[in-house]
Structures are given as structure tokens and as C-alpha cells.
Chain A
Amino acid sequence: MKRGAVRRNLTAHAFLLPFLCVFVIGVVAPLVYSVNLSLYQERMIGGRVFSGLDNYTKAFKDTLFHAGLGRVALFFAIQVPLMLGLSLVAALAIDSGRLRAPALFRIGIFVPYAVPGVVAALMWGYLYGDRFGLAGEIGDLLHTELPDLLSGNWMLASIGNIVTWSYVGYNMLIFYAALRSVPEELYEAAEVDGAGAVRKAFSIKLPALRPALLMATTFSVIGSFQLFNEPSVLQSLAPAAVSTNYTPNMYAYSLAFDGRQFNYSAAVAVLLGLVTVIVAYAVQRATARRERML
């Protein structure tokens, strides 16, 4: 009996082993390496010396890092609610059964997610341009000068639009799947109780969506705070509007590959990872508390 249990355990571990190998090589090892890197400093005299948390205290006071962090926080506060709201509306509309050809909408809104992020950023970058982009043509059509979407004032909104365009369908599909999992009997029971469409939306659909909403928000926290592709591509189109510290990830990148400050870059990256974890955890706590209150 006991031997059988041991053998079962061994079998389970054997099944786990391939995952563990990849996990250790792909996730744990790079993390340990960069944390280790961040604890050293390259000095003119003495070479590589252990410096404890010096790199972290430096990053804490670094205004360039703060500027990037503030920018992605603003991005998160505005872009994420807009995008998730749009996704939610789309999912509710497709699920409502009141659309003609719902399958067309479902696949059409999802298609941008299949476009690689760099390609999407390049495409929108050209669309924003006033020379052969659509922005210029629409401006000509209306006989007005549209604002330069690649200028400093509009850059964050322009990036927000690219990210919204790319991920609105992905989030819509998450919400739609959650709505599909609601058993039909629940709606029937609600109807028997005299619930209308609005009542059903608030009492059945929104509670059913809460776990999906939490998951989508968590992904969006990560996506916002680790923003890199879009501003990095647009930087080559509008170098004046996107600084090298535009987002914390870009800052870490330019520190490492332009400034050759690998140790400090690692500290910035680790700190950014911690901030992301803290924000994601805070969002989860806030949602859990609201759930308990209901």
C-alpha cells in the first residue's frame, strides 16, 4: 500500500520534471542572475565589487526612472479602463444574441491580436504620419490640420490607441468565454422571477464576469508597466517625442545596451518587476475586498 503511494508520487514528479526543467532554465535562472547582477558595481578602480543595495537606493532616487514609472501609471489609469470597457461592451453585445452575424464580429474584433506587436506599432506609426498616413488624409478631407499624433503631447494617447487596438479583441474573448459558461437555466430562473434584460446583466452577467475581469486587469497591469514594443518602435519615427527613459523598461534597455551599465540596469529591472507585482497584488486585494462586501 505504502509502496504503491511512493511509486505514484514518483510518477507524478516524473511528469512534473519537464515543466520544472524549463521553468528553472527560463524563469528562475535569469531572475537569480539579474538579482545577482544588481548587487554589484563596475568601478574604474577595483573592477567588479559587491555593493549591496547601492544600485537600488540609486534607482529609488533616479528622477529618470520616476518619470517613466509615472508615465506608465498614467497609461494604466486611463488606457486600461477604456480598453476593458470596450471589450466588455463588445462581449455583452455578442453574447446578447441581438447582433446580426455575431461570428463575424467575434472574429473581426479578435483579428488585431493576431498581428505581431511590432508590426501593429509600425502600421499605426505610418497611419499617424501626416505625409502618407490616414491622419493626413482625413485632415485634408476636413480641410483642417489634425494635431500631430506623433508629437510629444499626443504620444501617450497614440500608444494607448495602438495597445487598445491590439488587445481589445483578446480581452473581449476572455469575457465572452466567461459569459458563455453561464448556464442557460440561470437566465430562465431569473426570467421566471421577473427579471428584465438590465436586471439579468447586473445580477447574473456581471458577477459571472468578475473572475475574468480580475484576470484581464492583472494581465493589463503587467502589460502597462512593462510597456516597451510600441514606444520603442515609435521612437524611430519620432525621436523627439519618445525619450530613452519613456517607460521603465525602455530605460532599463537603454541603460544596458547604450550605457553599458548592466548592473544598474538589472537593479532598475528588478525594481520594476517588484512594482508590477505590488500593483497587481493591490488590484487583486481591492477586488477581493469588494467581493466580501457584496
Chain B
Amino acid sequence: MTAAPERRRPGRSTALTVAMGLMLAYTLLPLLWLAISATKSNQTLFDSPGL
């Protein structure tokens, strides 16, 4: 009973993880940009790179 789920567990897929990583970047990068921009003054907002 305890061994059964262990046997069923499929291997980890790097390709799938990378593809889902792209999606994670889509959801999180805008928030990172927001957090970084919140630390800038009006002038540095124009002068410095966003990310």
C-alpha cells in the first residue's frame, strides 16, 4: 500500500519545468519591475534600466 504511489511517480521533466518557468516569469517579472520602480525617484525612473 505504501509502496504503490512511489512506484507510480513519473520522472521529473526538465523540459516541462523550463516551459512552466516561462509562465512563472510572465506572472512574476511585472511585480519585480513594480517593486524595483517603487524604490526609485522620479528622475531615476527615466535614467536607470527598469529591471
Contact = CB atoms under 8 A, between A and B. Distances in A.
Nearest to A162: B30
A99 B45 contact: no
B27 A109 contact: yes
Interface in B4-32: 4-5, 8-14, 16-17, 19-20, 23-24, 26-28, 30-31
A168 B27 contact: yes
A100 interface: yes
Interface centre among A134, A169, A184 (most CB of B within 10 A): A134
A124 B14 CA distance: 31
Given A96-B16, A98-B11, A132-B50, A124 B30 contact: yes
A137 interface: yes
Given A98-B11, A111-B27, A134 B50 contact: yes
Given A134-B33, A165-B26, 4 more contacts: A99-B13, A105-B20, A108-B24, A127-B30
B23 A86 contact: yes
Interface residues of B, number: 28
Interface string A236-277: 000000000000000000000000000000000000000000
The dominant DSSP class at the A interface is helix
Interface centre among B11, B33, B51 (most CB of A within 10 A): B33
Interface residues of A, number: 33
A159 to B, nearest CB: 15
Interface of A: 86, 90, 93-94, 96-100, 104-105, 108-109, 111-112, 115, 123-124, 126-127, 131-134, 137, 165, 168-169, 184, 187-188, 191, 197
A289 to B, nearest CB: 33
Contacts of A169: 27
Interface centre among B8, B34, B46 (most CB of A within 10 A): B34
B8 A187 contact: yes
A244 B14 CA distance: 48
